[in-house]
Amino acid sequence: MSAKLYNVAVVGATGAVGEEMIKILAQRNFPINEIKLLASSRSAGINIDFMGEQCVVEELTTDSFSGVDIALFSAGAIRSREFARVAVDAGAVVVDNSSAFRNDPEVPLIVPEVNGHSVGRHNGIIANPNCATIQMVLVLKPLHDIARVKRVVVSTYQSVSGAGKQAINELSEQTRQVFSMQDINPVKFPYQIAFNCIPHIDVFDDTGYTNEELKMVNETKKIMEDYSIELTATTVRVPIFYCHCESVNLEFEKPLSADQAKTILSSSQGIEVVDNTEHFKYPMAIDAAGKDLVYVGRIRDDNTVENGLNLWVVADNIRKGAALNAVQIAEKLTEE
């Protein structure tokens, strides 16, 4: 990383991802000269600790980005569309965690371990992919390089933290209400999430797929730089607080055994293989929470198709699925 120090802004500093970005910047000793914490007027004035100092959250305005070198956005697509270009015009490079620019052909969509070479192609904005996409492509890429992925069928089991702080609070409160035999009135989700699974994340389109499912399809092809990959997804919200889990079925162009896949993934950056069924060792959300790695296990041959594998992939959606990936992109920027 460069010895130069940078002025960094975190937009959405009081949200679940924004708070994690601040922690990770400190944990990874990012070369910061000054940090500016930005949020809505509701959060302005709140103090947040950064490396032992109390930083005051400022209201996000069009004047917020003077002198900022790198702006990490995690305030939703509406705010990103409103303020990202403002930040760029002020001289900052924006790393945006929302869906606002992911499909823009002029905006790189980056997972550093997969396509970090594309960071330098930005015109001021770099998009951070969807959390469920990030953990999957990290596992796909080293296998794709060897045998080329032909088709993917993925089913996700996504924690409530992917829907923000309100969703975390709703699961906590509903759990209490269930045990107290109280009535439950869902707010963040269309149905009770406590002790339930909801096969519906984001809005449906006229084909019956949700935007979350289509994000995985479109983003995977862009990140992998291979639009010939066929992918279909089913995304499900489950009643856990942190970590997304994914059942991934792969079909390759070339033969690739489960043992070969384990060897390849074991030596791949950002991945840890946890796969010993004899001793019931496989990735679980309770073990991955708070961790930076993507965990993969239950690696086994799919004998119903030629050159098929099944995988189970787990990662902390707030860290690698959002905040950490954004900070890693910023680190790549300092190397450019």
Question: Could you report the per-residue pLDDT of 7-54, keeping only the tens digit for each?
Answer: 999 999 999 999 999 999 999 999 999 999 999 999 999 999 999 899
- How is domain 133-317 classified at the CATH fold level? Dihydrodipicolinate Reductase; domain 2 (3.30.360)
Tell me: the pLDDT tens digits for 245-260? Answer: 999 999 999 999 999 9
- What whole-number percentage of the chain has pLDDT above 90? 99
If you search the block for the tokens 């390759």, which residue do you land on?
252
In a 3-state reduction of DSSP, which class is residue 99?
coil
Confidence of residue 106 (pLDDT cuts 50, 70, 90): very high
Q: What is the pLDDT of residue 88?
A: 98
Q: What is the mean pLDDT of residues 308-332?
A: 98
Is position 122 annotated as part of the catalytic site?
Answer: no
DSSP-assigned letters across all residues of 274-287:
--BGGGTB---HHH
CB of 31 closer than 8 Å to CB of 5: yes
Confidence of residue 2 (pLDDT cuts 50, 70, 90): low
Nearest alpha-carbon partner for 73 in 88, 94, 91: 94
Question: Across-strand partners of 222?
Answer: none
Amino acid symbol at 128: N
Q: CA-to-CA distance for 154 and 59, rounded, in angstroms?
A: 40
Count of H-run helices and E-run strands, the chain: 9, 14
Q: What is the mean pLDDT of the chain?
A: 96
| Residue 38 vs residues 44, 94, 162, 183, 215: alpha-carbon distances, Å | 8, 14, 21, 37, 27
The residue ranges of every structural domain in the chain are 6-128+322-335, 133-317
Q: What is the mean pLDDT of residues 168-186?
A: 97
Catalytic residue among 122, 144, 243, 244: 244
Catalytic residue among 55, 131, 243, 245: 131
Q: What is the pLDDT of residue 63?
A: 97
- What whole-number percentage of the chain has pLDDT above 70? 99
If you search the block for the tokens 């990735």, which residue do you land on?
283
CB of 148 closer than 8 Å to CB of 156: no
Residue 51 gets which letter from DSSP? T
Residue 201 has pLDDT above 70, yes or no: yes
CATH superfamily of 6-128+322-335: NAD(P)-binding Rossmann-like Domain (3.40.50.720)
CB of 31 closer than 8 Å to CB of 180: no
Q: What is the mean pLDDT of residues 160-179?
A: 96
Longest dimension (CA), the chain: 59
Is position 244 annotated as part of the catalytic site?
Answer: yes
Residue 38 backbone class (left: φ over 0; alpha: ψ -120 to 50; beta: rest):
beta
Q: CA-to-CA distance for 30 and 5, rounded, in angstroms?
A: 9
Q: What is the mean pLDDT of residues 266-279?
A: 97
